[in-house]
């Protein structure tokens, strides 16, 4: 069909070709969403995820990679493209694959959201696989969600800021405390700001490996509000041994509005 010679089209052909075009578009988007559901999906798949609290594609088993709201290079120069790509497609994907394998043979976990799986995990050796991989999936999904390429000039306000001032004195004091937790976590792990339901306080803590403050054996328990991955795989390509510089750059790409959302959800009665 020649587009240059529209006189050769009759109305019927135009309607027919319009229909075929729509069908083609539908099939392409369908095949993309099928590919998106496979465990090998990559950022290039535009997966729809309107049913998610955390931005995750699948809320229950089988879990899938969450859609990133930005490209691998978008967080440059704070986090470099290669680190993001490897971190998301290899590390996070690895935790996911292992988690799905473990849950495949554990029917009681198959209808639970990841944040409902975490409190069921014990610190016994027999739960090690589940602990590392369920934690790995939750923690990374949480982390991607609070990062943004739109450098956050907008600092928090309202209820969240008031709570920070009440428990830490100021936003700067919270940052100092969080930085310290992230810097001093020995080996691999995470630093967190959590909300503790029991005393209604915001607390800074850190966890080893892929442990998480929603796990019952966590030293400080609470709902995660903000977190940073301090595993070497999160920063070593660009920052090498300078973890402190990576932590400083975290504040440039932190989306305070997501942090506030996490706070609002956590404090909701
Ligand atoms: Mn990581």
DSSP 22-73: HHHHHHHHHHHHHHHHSTT--TTS----TT-SSS-S-SSSSP-PPPPSS-TT
Q: Residue 135 CB: number of other CB atoms within 10 A?
A: 24
Ligand 1 centroid, distance to 139 Cα (angstroms) = 8
* Ligand 1 center to 127 CA (angstroms): 20
DSSP string, 136-205: HHHHHHHHHHHB-SS-------HHHHHHHHHHHSSHHHHHHHHHHHHHH--SSEEEEEEEETTTTEEEEE
CA–CA separation, 81 and 111 (whole Å): 35
Strand, helix or coil for residue 230: coil
Please give the distance, rounded to the nearest whole angstrom, from the Cα atom of residue 228 to the centre of ligand 1. 9
106 alpha carbon – ligand 1 mean position (Å): 25
Series of mean pLDDT values for 10-residue runs along the chain (269 residues):
40 43 40 35 35 57 95 97 98 98 96 96 97 98 96 81 98 98 97 97 98 96 98 97 97 95 93
Ligand 1: centre distance to CA 178 (Å): 18
Q: How far is the CA of 226 from the centre of ligand 1 (A)?
A: 15
What does the pLDDT read at residue 263? 97
The DSSP bridge partners found for residue 208 are 189
- The DSSP output letter for 215 is S
- Is-above-0.85 flag for pTM? no
Distance 232 CA to ligand 1 centre (A): 8
Residues with CB under 5 A from ligand 1 (ion): 229, 231, 234
In the prediction, which pLDDT does 152 show? 56
- Alpha-carbon distance of 84 to 118, in angstroms, equals 25
The SS3 assignment for 240 reads coil
Task: Compute, in angstroms, the gap from residue 27 CA to the centroid of ligand 1.
Answer: 35
Q: Are 190 and 212 in contact (CB under 8 A)?
A: yes
């Amino acid at each position: 069909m020649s587009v240059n010679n529209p006189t050769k089209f009759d109305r019927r052909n135009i309607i027919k070709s319009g229909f075929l075009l729509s069908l083609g578009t539908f099939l392409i988007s369908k095949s993309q969403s099928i590919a998106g559901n496979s465990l090998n999906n990559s950022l290039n798949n535009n997966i729809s995820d309107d049913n998610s609290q955390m931005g995750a594609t699948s809320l229950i088993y089988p879990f899938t990679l969450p859609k990133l709201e930005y490209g691998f290079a978008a967080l440059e120069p704070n986090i470099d493209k290669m680190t993001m790509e490897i971190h998301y497609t290899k590390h996070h994907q690895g935790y996911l694959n292992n988690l799905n394998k473990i849950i495949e043979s554990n029917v009681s976990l198959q209808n639970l959201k990841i944040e409902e799986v975490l409190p069921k995990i014990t610190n016994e050796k027999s739960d090690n696989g589940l602990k590392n991989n369920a934690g790995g999936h939750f923690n990374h999904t949480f982390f991607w969600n609070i990062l943004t390429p739109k450098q956050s000039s907008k600092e928090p306000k309202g209820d969240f800021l008031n709570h920070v001032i009440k428990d830490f004195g100021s936003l700067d004091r919270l940052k100092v405390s969080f930085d310290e937790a992230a810097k001093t976590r020995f080996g691999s792990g995470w630093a967190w700001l959590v909300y503790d339901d029991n005393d209604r306080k915001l607390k800074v803590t850190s966890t080893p490996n892929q442990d998480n403050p929603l796990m019952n054996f966590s030293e400080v328990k609470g709902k995660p509000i903000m977190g940073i991955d301090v595993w070497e795989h999160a920063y070593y390509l660009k920052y090498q041994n300078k973890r402190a510089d990576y932590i400083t750059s975290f504040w440039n790409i932190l989306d305070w509005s997501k942090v506030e959302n996490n706070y609002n959800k956590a404090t909701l009665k």
